[in-house]
Structure 1
């Protein structure tokens, strides 16, 4: 269920931007302790709010003119989008009075500037004013991780949990998010395991570790941790949900469904667990059952956007564009926090034959949406399907102007798009234009070389591939591509052999390189070596072209029955492969 798979890890995890200018102005009249200068400037007696049995006394301090100026200027600057000025003013305000609340505010505003120096100063001040505030500990963690101060990050996390144990779960979520942005699991996962709470076998921390392991696709680690947790709490719904997702991702869909089906069908099952069950049903082709689950959830809570979205996707799966549009319209009416529904509205309109409306929806998807690229591709493809290629290409040119940081990718997309539409010469011009802007880009050079091969321009192919090798002599993919082309399209077989052998030295066992080596030995007349390497390639990976090559070598050796068997078996798996059918026709 492809459309549902697009949704599960996108829409539910969408984050809303913080609106930071929302705290009441009176907040800053509340200070834990006035500075000496503040006391001198305002000889007004302190007043305390009356105490209640459930509330500690709060001491209110009058605002100084200086403090009022800083805060007003900061608020006005923030409302006008001048975040740097707002941060500077809040920093001065925080430095002028020992107020934890003001230091907190200054630090949170500073984070929006993305200026490391500003943020560090604000955090240092907050920590100085209120060293036992757990939130300031948490806010330091991203910067400690960025600076590779991993031990300090772990100690800071331990301290935050110790200071505010009631916030353990959100703090763990924040910590896991930071760790998930690291490049490798080998660093991130041990950091989670090093937390004091993990060592003490905290279920919350072990669950956070399992989620992080799943993020890194360390399925075995996540599965083992969850097995242990489920032995302790066999009906704990979050544990069941994550374990079922892992089983699904590791190719065990029936086990995934069996794990949560009985619990999800009980009257007291939570909406979250039933949603997870509906998701699994949808992903595994049980569309009617999934629909029944989501419709029941929708009756209970008609405002749940996740459920409405899922029902819309199921309608798309059923090719019911009108029903899908109805559900997506409801999601839009309720806010669409992920800003991706416009893309699916476009799909629904396209499915219903409303192409103009579909174009409008695809064009409306904002650049910050995760569906933006897909929407642009669909918009351009729909224009091309309607015969308006000029408008499609003009749109791509405008995108390159508006998004220069993506110009390279947009050039590649346009060239590939034109090639798929049969406009290879136009695609070649796009690649050449792109290489003017990015002259040494490997992907552009390689892509133009492959297009040149299809246009029989072997001179350009070799020029581009040798340009890559001049910069990176050990580029195995390029060595193999040039070696194979020289094998297949020229008589420079000895030169090709050396390139392919070097590629295999760099990346031993690669099936494509083994196929190339077998093919060059075939061209050199060494049929025994050719067969050996081609069989090795097929043993590593089943591939129609490998089979075509091996069958040809075996045929030339005189074993025609074996050759036919190799070809026929491949043809059953790959009936539309041109190289395979051409080879069979040539020898039969």
Structure 2
């Protein structure tokens, strides 16, 4: 879909100086004409002034409109205040006065001025009402119809917008039909009635490229790309200077899996219109998937044409980034920081560049500058991992403290992240201390209690491990995960295996399809001497989850039953799936040593 255009390009927001000049000129003109009226009794009505303003089509004034009428002194004073306010950049005062006087005087010129000021200030409700009044007072003024069409489009009143767009077309104006179509598509308002209306307008006004282009957009939205393509090609023939048509044609060709034709078309159009940014940008985007080097050249040219366009600079920087051209990417990203555009993205990718160069502190500093948005979570993850891997735990501690202060609702999440980084960095004791501190602030956090239990288990603090899990079970007696974790741990204590069996059995009742719990059941049965029952559960668990720990358990059960080849196959399969497993080699070594010792004892 083509990027939405401003609904009424004739009245797009002008530069501030132009607005001030308009207001000043109008004020001087009004004063001059009022003075002339007093001396000569000439025509000084606002209608006459409005007729002097350019419009899409001038119409002859009616007899009654040619009669001069002057404003009351109160109205004149209010409008004078409005003009002075505009010169002083007090635009809200200017708008309020013009908007009020438009309603009071029912004067088309005042309504037109109120409309333009409201649109400049983006005061939508005032712009809509003023434009409605303007069209009521001057129904045959194409500019008024265009202004109202634009405001109705922005308000989402698309059926009404189409009515006034057609009125503008009939008056010779260039109605913003594409904007109405883009809005309808974007807001999913393209019901059958609106679709039919676009089709009718395209047929009624065959020479209007706007009406035809809008209908082509509607056809594309309806997945009728071939019909749309035929229509767009006809528009190109009728209006060769209309550049929206080749843009839409390129999109339609892509829809029809004819990317090569789309690229060829755009290459030709870029040669003919080298300064047209929209054409070159679409060409560059298509080239990204086909020829990254040529795409980079096109984006480089776009940046030359628009050196302060942050979107284009970022696009070119990312191409350099993805192709590891650090020296080319870095100044572009720094340029974004100078322009204060896409600053978070710039910091994120500058951090990535520093990371590629093993500049940990620089990378982390950039990642910390990324603000909430698309790259925020990834920046935190990457930056904190870098610091943890470098042993810079104090820096991480300060970073996470700031994050918890900035996002108090996510404090638990950031504590857990920091704890996990410490654990993976080989600092379980520091991780445990942090968990204790976290639970001081978040005593009700079940996730933190469970994490502390696992850390205590890792450090060999069996009693503390069990205490935490018992606490969780008191809060949630049917928590199968906690029940299974405690039961599995108790298997190692020969005196508590029956207790372990009870816990695991209850967990399995609650979660009969959980492979981890099924594995625990197989393991406790094995340790209780029920080998065949254990084998059944462990095969079931391994089928559900090809995990190296389950493979180690099943292999051991098969081994002690004398099924050596079957055990070796299970272990080898497990090592193939997880070559870094330490559990399987440990089980194999332990059983083989045990067997050797038993043989040696029997021989003696």
Find the counterpart in structure 2 of residue 495 from structure 1. 503
Deviation at 1:502, TM superposition (A): 0.4
Matches within 5 A, 1:55-94: 55=57, 64=78
Find the counterpart in structure 2 of residue 580 from structure 1. 584
Deviation at 1:268, TM superposition (A): 3.4
What do residues 1-55 of structure 1 show as CA deviations (whole Å, max 9, x unaligned)?
xxxxxxxxxxx9xxxxxxx9998589999xxxxxxxxxxxxxx964532254625
Query: Against the structure 1 CA distance between its residues 534 and 352, is the aligned structure 2 distance closer, same or farther, given a 3 Å change threshold?
Result: same
Deviation at 1:479, TM superposition (A): 1.6
Deviation at 1:341, TM superposition (A): 0.8
Q: 2:227 and 2:589 mapped to 1: Cα distance?
A: 61
Deviation at 1:510, TM superposition (A): 5.1
Contact 2:299 2:315 in 1 (8 A): no
Query: Against the structure 1 CA distance between its residues 520 and 356, is the aligned structure 2 distance closer, same or farther, given a 3 Å change threshold?
Result: closer
Query: Against the structure 1 CA distance between its residues 232 and 127, is the aligned structure 2 distance closer, same or farther, given a 3 Å change threshold?
Result: closer
Unaligned 5+ runs, structure 1: 1-11, 13-19, 30-43, 79-85, 111-120, 142-155, 176-190, 210-224, 245-258, 282-288
Deviation at 1:483, TM superposition (A): 1.0
Find the counterpart in structure 2 of residue 551 from structure 1. 555
Query: Against the structure 1 CA distance between its residues 67 and 353, is the aligned structure 2 distance closer, same or farther, given a 3 Å change threshold?
Result: same
Find the counterpart in structure 2 of residue 321 from structure 1. 326
TM-score calculated relative to the size of structure 2: 0.59
Task: Name the stretch that deviates more: 401-410 or 200-209.
Answer: 200-209
Check if 1:166 corresponds to 2:166. no
Q: 1:107 and 1:512 mapped to 2: Cα distance?
A: 63
* CA RMSD, Structure 1 to Structure 2 (Å): 5.4
Task: Name the stretch that deviates more: 553-562 or 327-336.
Answer: 327-336
Matches within 5 A, 1:508-527: 509=513, 511-512=515-516, 514-516=518-520, 518-519=522-523, 522=526, 527=531
What do residues 527-560 of structure 1 show as CA deviations (whole Å, max 9, x unaligned)?
5555455444444554333433443344344432
Higher relative CO (Cα under 8 Å, sequence separation at least 6) belongs to: 1
For the pair shown, which has the larger CA radius of gyration, 1 or 2? 2
Find the counterpart in structure 2 of residue 237 from structure 1. 250
Q: 1:279 and 1:455 mapped to 2: Cα distance?
A: 52
What do residues 456-509 of structure 1 show as CA deviations (whole Å, max 9, x unaligned)?
4455555555655666666xxx523431441244321222221133024xxxx5
Matches within 5 A, 1:339-350: 339-350=344-355
Find the counterpart in structure 2 of residue 411 from structure 1. 415
- Residue 487 of structure 1 aligns to a residue whose secondary structure is helix
Aligned residue pairs total 466
Matches within 5 A, 1:295-314: 295-299=297-301, 301-302=303-304, 303=307, 309=314, 312-313=317-318
Matches within 5 A, 1:370-381: 370-381=374-385
Matches within 5 A, 1:219-238: 229=225, 233=229, 236-238=249-251
Find the counterpart in structure 1 of residue 68 from structure 2. none
Q: 1:333 and 1:321 mapped to 2: Cα distance?
A: 18
Unaligned 5+ runs, structure 2: 4-12, 25-43, 66-70, 104-110, 136-144, 166-176, 200-214, 231-247, 270-278, 492-496, 593-604
Query: Against the structure 1 CA distance between its residues 279 and 493, is the aligned structure 2 distance closer, same or farther, given a 3 Å change threshold?
Result: farther
Contact 2:535 2:558 in 1 (8 A): yes
Deviation at 1:572, TM superposition (A): 2.0
Check if 1:268 corresponds to 2:268. yes
- Residue 430 of structure 1 aligns to a residue whose secondary structure is helix
Matching residue within 544, 569, 574 for 1:565: 569
Q: 1:319 and 1:497 mapped to 2: Cα distance?
A: 55
Q: 1:419 and 1:447 mapped to 2: Cα distance?
A: 11
TM-score calculated relative to the size of structure 1: 0.60
- Residue 339 of structure 1 aligns to a residue whose secondary structure is helix
Deviation at 1:566, TM superposition (A): 2.2
Matching residue within 395, 398, 414 for 1:394: 398
Contact 1:480 1:499 in 2 (8 A): yes
What do residues 163-208 of structure 1 show as CA deviations (whole Å, max 9, x unaligned)?
6643234414652xxxxxxxxxxxxxxx778675579997646766
